[in-house]
Amino acid sequence: MSENVLLNLDSEPRFDAISAADIEPAMTEAMNTARTAIANLKKEATVNWDNTVEALTNITERVGRIWGVVAHLNSVADTPELRTAYNSMMPKVSEFFTTISQDIELYERFKAIKASTEYTRLSNAQKTKLEHDLRDFVLSGAELPAEQQAEFAALQAEGAQLAAAFSQNVLDATDAFALYFANGEQLAGQVNASDQPSSTANFAHDSEISGLTEEALAMFAAAAEAEGKSGYKIGLQMPHYLAVMQYAHNRELRRQLYYAYSTRASELGEVKWDNTANINRILQIAAREAQLLGFQNYAELSLATKMANAPKEVLAFLHDLANRAKPFAEKDLAEVKAYAHQHLELNDLQPWDLTYASEKLRQAKYAFSQTEVKKYFPANRVLAGLFAQIDKLYGVHFIEKQVPVWHPDVRYYELEQDGAIIGGVYMDLYARTGKRGGAWMNDYRGRRRFTTGNHAGELQTPIAYLVCNFTPPVAGNTARLSHDEILTLFHETGHGLHHLLTQVDELGVSGINGVEWDAVEMPSQFMENFVWEYDVLAGMSSHQDTGAVLPRELYNKMLAAKNFQSGLWMLRQMEFAQFDMEIYSHPGCDWQQTLQEVRRQVAVIPQPDFNRFAHSFSHIFAGGYSAGYYSYSWAEVLSADVYAAFEEEANATATGKRFWREVLAVGGSRPAMESFKAFRGREPTIDALLRHCGFFNETA
């Protein structure tokens, strides 16, 4: 056995023992071994599933798993050494996989299987995988002339590097920002006789004068203490940013953070982190790749593996939703403007005022605050409630197990059914320096049943990563989650269940693999609905002072406020999605001008000239959602319709088992629309989404 941890991932991964120095030798050895195995594969005189498709899966899975671990650590535990090793290997890894996907001899072997009598004996999952593989060979340039293949491969490698650079610039610009305050008076923007930090923070006093919650102040104090400082440190990580934008009375502080956040990784900040050139080149590469493959634009290429058929179809869907939402958004904005004018002396409501004024309006209108709600939801109880809901729906159980992890906050759970382990998940829930912002699920490995070699007949169970950026626990206290954070947790767990509950044995179409990108959000958004059910919330609640469960009265207020500013939220999503589809549909367009045009068409809140949102829009420039951000909205239609079945049917467990059987279990082994219709018995409709958002046919 090699001493290099990355070469021993068949056993329990020792995340705590991986070093940056392991990466280059592990990847080099793994890729060289794979190249030799592929050369031997192509020498086989006969062509069949086992010696071609199964063999290539065995070869590439090992390389992909090692690189997947490296990429994961680069996202959640970034260090200069790890980043250097990751960036230096990325072009070689891209070249390795592109070379395989363009290999005409492999392509011909796959085509030969499709044309053989063996094809008729393959399972439906195997046939689907083969169809996907043949499609992907074409979309990777396997049918291009050699010169164009080389150009395509170079573009793929450069694009991967640019995506990494884009993401790293956003992370570095986020982590570099800091504001320091000696005391609450400074936070509140008041003149203070002494600028010296207090030796002991008075959170209650500072909260009263600053508007910030005591929890937020403790978080800021802990951030300062981690640097050996007294007072408070405020950064741009989401828990910091949202705490200020939602509660800080100090308007200038809100403006400072808004400016810093909305100009991250742009020409208005540090030149070394400016993503302008990266965006320009990413779009050029996308357009050229599409052109080489015979598409009019990259949006068409992107949709070749999605449910939607054409960019015009997507844009029509987005325009329709925007038109439905806009009257409600205009009412939302008028309401918060009136409140800010009458009660907050804000006569010229600015973007950095909107979250603050909206929270004040929410409290006035529904008589509760997000801070009050948060006191009921300790993270450990929320996790227990999440697991209980999953058990109720599917009859599976999460059991914590002690394994090596990359950070002390990380927990690992095995998923068990009837005494058998069917999967596992690493949960990394809290924000920290060196960790990419946002929330996501990724897979460490997928489900497959081996048919050849030493492991023939064995079942490999799936394992997922579930990553969030919640407010971390401070000073030994239990972390408490906001309702929005609970929604995020259920959302990402929905992705995880899609991966973990698969019953397909072919790796390429098991779990989330092979699922159309615009359907992959359906199981995640579906799970969010349960966070609005009283029994679910009550079961995971325990007040920090009394231990009491969430009162029905407070829940009713939360439910009444569920669609608070849903029009504004929907329009914001339409702005993102339309911008994405437009810039990838029109090669050579001025993307900054396109963003302004989309905002003029869609938005009701004018953005300041300095806003550089696109420079940190990692989803579409570094996150796999290029010409695919609309997927969130389309999947909302599907997920709302799925949840409607649970509203209509009395037995949630029976409905849950059917959803597992018809959607989660089949993964990518059949088209997502077929899976939806198998569960729902019909085509999807938009009615449930409009109802859940509060968008009715009445005049807004």
Q: Which residues are catalytic?
A: 492
Rounded Cα distance between 583 and 604, Å, is: 21
- Burial code of 154-193, b = ≥16 C-beta within 10 A, e = fewer? ebbbbbbbbbbbbbbbbbbbbbebebbbbbbbbbbeeeee
User: Could you tell me if 492 and 468 are in contact, meaning their C-beta atoms sit under 8 angstroms apart?
Assistant: yes
Rounded Cα distance between 482 and 539, Å, is: 15
Distance of CA 613 to the CA centre of its chain: 18
CA 633-638-643 angle, to 5 degrees, is 120
- DSSP per-residue letters across 625-643: -TTTTTHHHHHHHHHHHHH
Per-residue 3-state assignment (H helix, E strand, C coil) for 352-372: HHHHHHHHHHHHHHHCCCHHH
Listed as own residue / partner, the contacts of 4-11 with beta carbons closer than 8 Å and 24 or more positions apart are 4/29, 6/66, 6/69, 6/70, 7/66, 9/62, 9/65, 9/66, 9/69
Which residue in 469, 428, 473 sits closest to 218, CA to CA?
473
Give the contacts of 178 (CB within 8 A, at least 6 positions apart): 233, 234, 235
Which residue in 177, 167, 170 sits closest to 265, CA to CA?
170
In the DSSP assignment, the letter for residue 550 is P
Beta bridge pairs of residue 415: 398, 423
Per-residue 3-state assignment (H helix, E strand, C coil) for 273-335: HCCHHHHHHHHHHHHHHHHHCCCCCHHHHHHCCCCCCCHHHHHHHHHHHHHHHHHHHHHHHHH
Q: Residue 256 belongs to what H/E stretch?
A: helix 251-262
Rounded Cα distance between 185 and 435, Å, is: 31
3-state class (DSSP) for residue 429: strand
3-state class (DSSP) for residue 394: helix
Give the count of beta carbons closer than 10 Å to the beta carbon of residue 20.
Answer: 17
Give the count of beta carbons closer than 10 Å to the beta carbon of residue 586.
Answer: 18
Give the contacts of 357 (CB within 8 A, at least 6 positions apart): 336, 339, 340, 344, 346, 349
Give the count of beta carbons closer than 10 Å to the beta carbon of residue 115.
Answer: 9
How many CA atoms lie less than 13 Å away from 526 in the CB half-sphere?
Answer: 29
